Amino acid sequence: MNILVDTLPETVVVGETSHRINTDFKTCLRAVLALEAGDLAWDEKAAIVLELMYGDKVPLDFSEALQQALIFLNGGKSDSDEASGPRVYSLSTDAGLIFAAFRQTHGIDLERERMHWWKFITLFMDLGADTTFCNLINLRRRVRSGQATKEERQVASELGNLMMVPEVDTRTVEEREAEAAFTAALRGS
């Protein structure tokens, strides 16, 4: 798919059937935020994503429907091309800065705009280097990689909680339950 010449997709194929998927960036953001939520079990996250992406017409093959929704949310890629390492931004923590960066860079008021998810993520990847959001990301990246200057570390220290980005809990329900049982056993002894 080439965003320059092809029409952005409105459907995904589950099994051999094409299904409409919600392409609005706000709905897709809600799905991504659910996936990042640390207080939800994987089954809850999956249910939220399916409901948001397909509405009341979720395909019967839930597993394949979820996989196709995740591929759609990843811009059509079945695997993540993101560089490994610590997260340097959060769609929830940095929401205000992202909103302002869209306005500053692209002149887009996200509150009023209706936009396809893939258009949103393409524009998101090109937010201007002079935005507060991008400057904060660069500072977080430099501090976490150990490349920050003394002055940058001082600024980071002064920013306090603004420098914090919650990590996404990717453990399975079983792994979480095992950890909870282990912690309970330690407290009991």
Looking at residue 62, its pLDDT comes to 92
Residue 124 falls inside a structural domain: yes
Predicted structure pTM score: 0.82
Among 170, 183, 174, 143, which residue's Cα sits nearest to residue 70? 170
Residue 117 lies in a domain: yes
Q: What is the pLDDT of residues 78-96, one digit of tens each?
A: 865 554 567 789 898 899 9
The answer to whether residues 127 and 68 belong to one domain is: no
Count of structural domains, the chain: 2
Are 63 and 110 in the same domain? no
Residue 112 included in any domain: yes
Mark whether 67 and 107 lie in a shared domain. no
Is residue 176 in some structural domain?
A: no
- Answer yes or no: do 58 and 107 share one domain: no
Residue 5 lies in a domain: no
Q: Are residues 116 and 148 in the same domain?
A: yes
Asked whether 1 and 9 are in contact (CB, 8 A), the reply is yes
Instruction: Provide mean pLDDT across the span 39-52.
Output: 92
Please state which of the ranges 7-16, 102-111, 125-134, 147-156 shows the lowest mean pLDDT.
147-156
Same domain, 154 and 100: yes
pLDDT at 176: 62
Sign of the alpha-carbon dihedral angle for 29, 31, 33, 36: negative
pLDDT at 165 over 90: no
Q: Mean pLDDT, the chain, as a whole number?
A: 88
Residue 147 lies in a domain: yes
pLDDT-derived band at 26, boundaries 50, 70, 90 = very high
Dist. CA 94–CA 70, nearest whole Å: 22
Nearest to 75 by CA among 105, 109, 117, 106: 117
pLDDT of 32 above 80? yes
- What's the confidence (pLDDT) of residue 178? 75
Q: Please check whether residue 189 lies inside any domain of the structure.
A: no
Asked whether residue 116 carries a pLDDT value surpassing 70, the answer given is yes
Residue 139 lies in domain:
95-163
**Would residue 152 count as lying in a domain?**
yes
**pLDDT, mean of residues 102-128:** 96
Say yes or no: 67 and 109 in one domain: no
The per-residue pLDDT for 65 is 96
Q: Do residues 69 and 106 share a domain?
A: no
